[in-house]
Amino acid sequence: MPHDSLLLWKALQGIICVYKPAEISVKSLRKKLITKLCKDLSELDVKLRHPNPKLTALPVSSDPHTNSIVETESSENALEDISSSAISSGISHIDLRYHPLVVGPRYLDEDLTVSWSNFLGWNTSGVLLFGLRSGTQYAKFIRENRSTRAYRVTGSFGKATDNGFKTGKVVEKSTWKYINQNHIQQILSAMQASHQKKVFEISGVDIHSQTAYELAAKGPIRPVNSEVPIIYNLKCLDYEGPGFTIEVQCINENENYLTTLIHDIGIRLHSTAHTTAIKCIRHSCFTLEHALLPKHWNLQNITKNMDMCSKLLRDNESVINQTSAVLN
Amino acid sequence: MYRFRFIFRKIEIKYIRNASSAVEGNVSCTNTSTELVDNQQNALTKADTSKRIDLTAISKILRPGAVSSMYVNKSDILQQLLKLGVELYKLEKDPEGMKFILTLKFEDIKDTIIFLKELGVETQQIGYIITKNPLLLKESLDDLKVRINYLQYKKFTPEMITRIIENNPVWLTHSTKEIDDRLGFFQKTFSLTANNVRALATQCPRLITYQMDKVKLNLFVLKEEMGFNDVEIKKILLNKPNLFKNSQVRLLKTFEYLHNTMKIPLETIVREPEVLSCREKRLKERHSFLAKLGRDQYDPKQPNYVALTTLIKEDDVVFSTEVAKSSVQTFNNFLKSI
């Protein structure tokens, strides 16, 4: 079988797990990925087809019916010596149609379809899943299965901003010195309890029924639709000075919801708070460990990452193929 | 229009795929083009029934390389340009340019190319120049000679002229008056000496033919928003002319981070203006890493001084081991933690 970049192109379908830095949109990250992959593939294609850099033209297939064979005449101009000698001297029958300088890159950006399975906002960093080519289907399944995600959100007490994030304009200031970690933990536990109560109310089953009992016996369950954000676990990791970090295990959330959550925490503690950073540390079975930094994006690393992701998905089938409302 | 474009892409991809699988590569040129033309006519339901349609007109909606790969085996001029290393698929982006080139004969452009060669331009560079600016071939040889004469008259040495032409493909399409105006603008605005102007034009020839509004905007940003004085701006211009081609938003963001967060005084920035060309993101990553290690010391008079140029220039491996005295793994983990 001839070496061809097409083999690699065909193999390049599946889910990859990348790291999204803050202050860049998912859209531009996707574009960056596509550009990088297509460029690498096209370069590889040229390298495989024309291993000898001097001999850039491809000899034509030995088909007598081809009427497009061109005999390049040795030109008698001043450029003869300076032009790439391979074209004029080495081979006489050359089909120039496939010359890399004529056809250009083999893989164009629009050939590679990529879609994301979780959307992270502009200010959020962390684990992001992309589906490449036929992997976009899996990306869709993962997205529609609404798997749980874990976030590490840092906030700061004392100031409230107009957009809830540190970049916004300060609209309110307050005291925060009286707050201690126990206060925060109390509030968080109360919030978590109310969410767990709410999930049964909107689960679609009568709370007094046998079904509801059986579901509850199995553990936490998923909400019935993708509209309502539900928090399963809230934990204060550390608190020093005005800054604090909480870990949120949740479903159906978005960036706005998390900033509002921090704002609410501030208000419940009789103070004000704004978010300083949001990081997605886990998406279903994918963690930060699996995520590939943008600077490491190249063909080799991405295929490796894809392998690892498909293995992970095989081990955790429920991510793609979900059978019950019970959270796992 | 978008839908038509989509249809074309599909058809085109199919044909190029067929053609490029070299085994059955004898899908003949003419065949492909007539099929394409047929499809185009169906899609647009054109009244024109003649099968001969100028493909250059629709090159924008075809896959790059489609037009040139259809013509290259028949056209002498394209083959000659190919020998020079011109990237034909890039020429197609401009339908007018491609149309013009296909009407040319090699004899027409031979003199121009020999002229460039005599100026000392490398062959690969001639290909690059034509790729970037195919309309250069439209200019008459006398005009080109006048433009070079102007540079010689302004005491540019032959090496300087070669460098200017190699680095700025569009220089020669600008008339002498335009170039004179531009050079005059730089001399007057930044109060440069004649030697300075020559050095500037040689160091960054593209800046001379760059959009003047953007240069003026960057000048405003440096002067009014960042607060550099005229002498300092002149130093920055001569040291790092490329800065004036950056977008003003990026320039200001970098400056704000340097000056407000890293506490770098203006004098240091003037001394090492390349820090302004660094992206804010890169600066942020590296500075916060050093800050975490307690190594963010940018004052040359104190121990453990980190030079700003080494901070931004080196790649991640060298930076994390040499500058931060840590390991790449640590740096990567750190990048995932912010």
Each domain of chain A, given as residue ranges in start order, spans: 1-51+86-146+288-320, 148-283
* Closest-approach residue (CA) in chain A for B331: A293
Q: Which residues of B touch A (CB under 8 A)?
A: 9, 13, 16, 19-20, 22-23, 25-26, 28-29, 63-65, 68-70, 72-74, 78-80, 82-90, 106, 110, 113-114, 117, 123, 281, 316, 332, 335-336, 338
pLDDT value of position B59: 66
pLDDT tens, residue by residue, A255-313: 999 999 999 999 999 999 999 999 999 998 999 999 999 999 999 999 999 999 999 99
Kindly state whether A71 is in contact with chain B, defined as any CB-CB distance less than 8 angstroms.
Answer: no
- All residues at 6 or more sequence positions from B33 whose CB lies less than 8 Å from its CB, including other chains: B55, B70
Fold assignment, A148-283: Pseudouridine synthase (3.30.2350)
Q: Least CB-CB distance to A96: which of B20, B72, B332? A: B72
Min Cα distance B124 → chain A (Å) is 9
Of the ranges A29-33, A89-93, B53-57, which one carries the lowest mean pLDDT score? A89-93
Min Cα distance B169 → chain A (Å) is 19
pLDDT tens, residue by residue, A119-139: 999 999 999 999 999 999 999
Beta-carbon separation of A106 and B83 below 8 A: no
> Which secondary structure element, helix H or strand E, spans residue A153, and what is its range?
strand A149-157
pLDDT value of position A3: 66
Kindly state whether A61 is in contact with chain B, defined as any CB-CB distance less than 8 angstroms.
Answer: yes
DSSP per-residue codes, A172-237: EE---TT--HHHHHHHHHHHHHHHHHHHHHTSSS-TTSHHHHHHHHH--B--SSSSS-EEEEEEEE
Q: Least CB-CB distance to A65: which of B26, B64, B86? A: B26
Q: What residue segments make up the domains of chain B, in order of their start? A: 278-338
* Closest-approach residue (CA) in chain B for A296: B332
Q: What value does the mean pLDDT of chain A take?
A: 84
- CB < 8 Å to A108, chain B: 63-64
- CB < 8 Å to A89, chain B: none
> Which secondary structure element, helix H or strand E, spans residue A319, and what is its range?
none
Beta-carbon separation of B22 and A291 below 8 A: no
Cβ-contact A150, A249 below 8 angstroms? yes
**β-pairing, A273-283 with A124-132?**
parallel
Is residue B254 exposed (0-12), middle (13-18) or buried (19+ Cβ within 10 Å)?
Answer: buried
- CB < 8 Å to B131, chain A: none
Confidence of residue B6 (pLDDT cuts 50, 70, 90): very low
- With a cut of 70, say whether residue B29 has pLDDT above it: no
Percent of chain B beyond pLDDT 70? 82
pLDDT tens, residue by residue, B195-246: 999 999 999 999 999 999 999 999 999 999 999 999 999 999 999 999 999 9
- With a cut of 60, say whether residue B21 has pLDDT above it: no
Confidence of residue A70 (pLDDT cuts 50, 70, 90): very low
Beta-carbon separation of A102 and B316 below 8 A: no
**Distances, alpha carbon A169 to alpha carbons A23, A258, B82, in Å:** 17, 18, 57
Cβ-contact A309, A15 below 8 angstroms? yes
pLDDT value of position A59: 40
pLDDT value of position B102: 86
Kindly state whether A295 is in contact with chain B, defined as any CB-CB distance less than 8 angstroms.
Answer: yes
Beta bridge pairs of residue A247: A152, A235
- With a cut of 50, say whether residue A80 has pLDDT above it: no
Six-digit token string for B135: 């309309």
Closest to A101 measured CA to CA, from B152, B270, B187, B80: B80
* Closest-approach residue (CA) in chain B for A20: B336
ipTM, two decimals: 0.81
* Closest-approach residue (CA) in chain A for B27: A66
Q: Least CB-CB distance to B79: which of A96, A103, A108? A: A96
Cβ-contact A188, A235 below 8 angstroms? yes
Kindly state whether A10 is in contact with chain B, defined as any CB-CB distance less than 8 angstroms.
Answer: no
Beta-carbon separation of A68 and B13 below 8 A: no
Min Cα distance A225 → chain B (Å) is 32
Min Cα distance B26 → chain A (Å) is 6
